[in-house]
Amino acid sequence: MADCEKLKTCPFFTGQMATMPAVADLMKKSYCLGDKMQCARYQVASAGGPVPADLYPNDTARSQHILRGVGR
């Protein structure tokens, strides 16, 4: 799988996770360097919705809620 093209500019990792590098590395391996389609942030961004700064990559329940409101 290809690395996520948003990795270097993702505000979640460049800001919010800066103080938790071990957790950030695990998430990056799973989502950014693994299956980006499973990333809640990527899902919202790909649909053209605004991505909340505090949306975690593994919070797909919240991303689905956000996506239901996109385009209304």
Question: Which pLDDT score, from 0 to 100, does residue 17 have?
Answer: 75
pLDDT grade, residue 72 (50/70/90)? very low
Least trusted range by pLDDT, from 23-27, 37-41, 64-68: 23-27
Round to whole Å and give the CA distance between 46 and 23: 24
Any idea of the CA torsion for 44, 54, 27, 41, to the nearest 10 degrees?
Answer: 10
Question: Which pLDDT score, from 0 to 100, does residue 6 have?
Answer: 86
The pTM of the full predicted model, rounded to 2 decimals, is: 0.82
Q: Is the pLDDT of residue 35 over 80?
A: yes
List the chain domain ranges.
8-69
Question: Which pLDDT score, from 0 to 100, does residue 28 have?
Answer: 86
Residue 31's alpha-carbon distances to 4, 12, 48, 70, 71, in angstroms, are: 8, 12, 19, 22, 25
Q: Output DSSP code: residue 72.
A: -
Q: Mean pLDDT in the chain?
A: 86
